[in-house]
Amino acid sequence: MGSQVAVDRMLVTGHRIEVPLDWSAPAGPQISVHAREVVAAEHAGDANRPAIVWFQGGPGHEIAFPDHRGGWLEQLLTRYRVLLLDQRGTGLSTPLDARSLTISDPAVLGPYLTHFRQDSIVRDADRFRATLYGEDADWYVFGQSFGGFCSLTYLSLLPEHLRGVIITGGFAPVLHETDEICTRLFNHVATRNAEYYARFPADVARVRRIVDHLETTNEVDGQGQRLSARRFLMLGGMIGHQHGAAELHGIIERADSDLDQLHMLGGAVHLQIAETMSPATNPIYTVLHEAAYSNGPATRWAAERARLADPRYALDAQPVPYFTGEAVFPWMLEELRELRPLRDAANVLAEHEGWPPLYDVARLRANMVPVVGTVYWDDEYVERTMALETVSLLGNCRPWITNEYEHGAYRVDPKHVGDRLFSMLDDLTARR
């Protein structure tokens, strides 16, 4: 047992294990992986309480210390002891930071980073299962967004000790490769753009004005970096939030007012853009965002090619260019100084061939582990038709298909979402 602290009616215990960097070479270099087990204080003495591992969104996003008992964590604590895994390279696990990379040679760093995808993450998690609860112990899995991708990889590679799986907004497009996924996502995001401009028609002229300003003016942010129009248009990722369209409208309205009164964009607008871009400063997210979809082929900057191929996203599109959704583009590694150390390694990975398969479609079809989850009809990040294909092929799966929520529903209404999914899981389990 690692260090233990009491926080807001919870016991939080840290654990650390050593795992192979490359699971296909277990005797090779090792890295450290950290996790925190969280138990409700009133259930601390219940040794039979089932465990669930949490796979957060990403890839490469750090999971915060559980500083209070609330939200989705509270829902899980009503039923489980919860293992919050610092996915390899994040949190207190052996870190990766673009500002302090220990490997400078891109020809070495690129191959090193190939070991930070879902296939490695789920093997780390399963080692934790065996270490903390016993080789023969069973447990549950929860996966949000990219965490759902991890859950499907777990079902593909190591399903033997899974008692049940909950997926929210993360039914990965297992039947498709990165090029098609990006093309279809950009088409879906275009639909969301059309809905946005129909809702806020005055923003057509405002966005056109802001884009023209950024294309013709040296607009510098608070960090001394030039703000380009294409970086500004990445605010489109906000449309996929529960109230993101209105939030984006507020930013556009403020930016237009700034141009009237300041003849430049104010600090508040720059801060919003910086916050939207912050995942890109994470090395794993930046270099493996597209690779998280690949079952073999090189990705070759598929999102950038999809953007360039769709005239609706061109900066000179009339009457207004469309906002892009969640994506990583190669020019970001030039424009953002935090990412420049990753540029050459990212290009190495973009050309990498022979990614190990992340999913076993035959095993998923034959799956008997109870799986429940949400498919959000308007999800900007996981396109619904491909998600529904995965739901249809996955054995013993019961989906909740809804247009009531966006991608982050588990944060917005955790009790309603939790009660619905737990009831579905209990019913599916009882039918086994």
Catalytic residue positions?
145, 379, 407
Which of 136, 145, 120 lies closest to 63, judged by CA? 145
Q: What angle do CA 60, 63, 65 make, to 5 degrees?
A: 155
Other C-beta atoms closer than 10 Å to the C-beta of 412 total: 16
Q: Is residue 232 within 8 Å of 313, Cβ to Cβ?
A: no
Question: Which residues have CB under 8 Å from 185's CB, separation 6+?
Answer: 306, 325, 327, 383
- In angstroms, what CA-CA distances link 255 with 118, 265, 276, 417? 39, 6, 15, 35
Q: Is residue 211 within 8 Å of 324, Cβ to Cβ?
A: no
* Measured distance CA(253)–CA(264) in Å, rounded: 13
Q: What angle do CA 396, 136, 19 make, to 5 degrees?
A: 100
- Taken in order 238, 239, 244, 247, the sign of the CA dihedral is positive
Residue type, 52: I
* Measured distance CA(391)–CA(424) in Å, rounded: 15
- Cα of 383 vs its chain's centroid, Å: 14
Q: Which two tokens stand for residue 350?
A: 């973009």
Q: Is residue 15 within 8 Å of 39, Cβ to Cβ?
A: no
**What DSSP state is assigned to residue 235?**
G
**What DSSP state is assigned to residue 427?**
H
- Element containing residue 141 per DSSP (H, E): strand 139-144
* Measured distance CA(125)–CA(131) in Å, rounded: 10
Q: List residues bridging with 6 in a β-sheet.
A: 11
Q: List residues bridging with 389 in a β-sheet.
A: none
Other C-beta atoms closer than 10 Å to the C-beta of 264 total: 17
Which of 228, 215, 217 lies closest to 324, judged by CA? 228
